[in-house]
Amino acid sequence: MLARSCLWLSILAFTWLASGCVSLRGTGDLGVVIERATGSVQVVETTRRISLARITGLGDLSHASVVYSRDGRYAYVFGRDGGLTRIDLLRARIDKRVVQAGNAIGGAISQDGQLIAVSNYQPGGVKMFDAATLDPVADIPATYGDGSRRSKVVGLVDAPGRRFVFSLYDAGEIWIADMRDAKKPVLTKFANVGKQPYDGTVTPDGRYYIAGLFGEDGLALLDLWQPERGVRRVLGGYGRGAQPLPVYKMPHMDYWAQADGLAYVPAVGRYEVLIIDQRGWKEAGRIAVAGQPVFVIARPDGRQVWVNFAPPHNDTVQVVDAMTRKIVQTLKPGKAVLHMEFTPRGEQVWISVRDENRVDVYDTETFTKVASLPALNPSGIFFTPRAHRIGQ
């Protein structure tokens, strides 16, 4: 009996290896690094801090983002050229690819992992796809006004209840798409939320959706537990009395830097990080930083907040201690720091240094560089634990 069991295990192992897989392994410590200039991604492993493979043929990745299947095996890459590519991390190859629009800006995966949603600039709207096959499921045009115009869609996130939430940049609106019946989306629309919502995010518990406003000082807040209350403005006029600065790179809202009941968000056109008390959604302070913030992200334990910047200060990263609200470290990784991603428990952070063609790994306690990986104009870094987080 034992011999027969061993034989079957040998046959299964041989079949797996013969099918092109490198080894039997889990995916919990894997991720991808976007190589934006070459339309490629690297599959990386965080435990040994190594690159496992490079996958090519993903099109225009100049503003690419990634979500993961529930098991962490498949990465869905959203390209700027409208490409939606499903990558098999274990086989290190493209599983399927479709070009679904002319100009896209990101996407999300549903709570149950069955639907992929893509937000599009051209034509403006959201398209839904079956996560397993990439077959089209639904098309939601972002029409507004008299119905003859379409808006760019930004800030697309998943929310509990098989819903997606997104902002209409040109229309100044926020929509909720209820996809419990995928063939019959139910839309709830909120108008006049503010001028030019440029990005959006959702709190880790899935309750609040917040959109940054590019055309005015302030943020738009929607309580997804009580959507009937509508959208309200928070932090209105935070730049009042100050001369606005030119904005060289749009800040990103697609992370919630949360620590000790506070949220840290980038201020548009200012050298500041804003602090919000989430109990009343009032300003609780500001932190002067080295430049205009792009990403403001919190270490998983909430003790540190890491900030990178738009040009001309995009060679710099600063670290804020959440308890003291003071900058405790300033790093100079190199030219064009574009993205940062923490390992699942936050002992290290990976930083893409685009113009120096590498990804650096820093210890978050000592701030020392512990590894460096060559990469071709790297931008976004996305690890598989995102598969189990709302809004990522």
What is the per-residue DSSP string for 44-71? Answer: EETTTTEEEEEE------TT-EEEE-TT
CA dist., res. 46 & res. 352, Å (int): 14
**Contact by Cβ (8 Å): 140, 149:** no
Question: Do 352 and 378 touch, CB atoms closer than 8 A?
Answer: yes
pLDDT one-digit tens code per residue, 153-174: 999 999 999 999 999 999 999 9
pLDDT at position 252 is 73
What pLDDT does 75 receive? 98
pLDDT in tens, 89-142: 999 999 999 999 999 999 999 999 999 999 999 999 999 999 999 999 999 999
Neighbouring C-alpha atoms within 13 Å toward the C-beta of 120: 24
DSSP H or E stretch at residue 99: strand 93-99
Residue whose entry in the numeric block shows the structure tokens 């990178």: 308
Whole-number Cα distances in Å, 302 to 263, 293, 306, 322, 367 = 10, 18, 10, 7, 16
The two beta strands, 149-150 and 143-144, are antiparallel
Mean pLDDT, the chain, integer:
90
CA distance 168 to 175: 8
Gap between the Cα atoms of 156 and 176, Å rounded: 10
- Report d(CA 352, CA 373) in Å as an integer: 10
Domain architecture of the chain: domains with CATH: 100-249 (2.130.10.10), 253-332 (2.40.10.480)
Tell how strand 219-223 and strand 208-213 pair up: antiparallel
Within a 10 A sphere around the Cβ of 148, how many other Cβ atoms? Answer: 7
Strand extents, DSSP E, 214-281: 219-223, 231-234, 257-259, 262-266, 272-277
Q: Is 10 helix (H, G, I), strand (E, B) or coil?
A: helix
Name residue 99's beta-bridge partners: 83
**Whole-number Å distance between alpha carbons of 7 and 333:** 52
- Percentage above 70 pLDDT, the chain: 90
pLDDT tens column, 267-310: 888 899 999 998 889 999 999 999 999 999 999 999 999 999 99
Of the pLDDT bands very low, low, confident and very high (cuts 50, 70, 90), residue 246 is low
What's the average model confidence in pLDDT over 14-23? Answer: 44
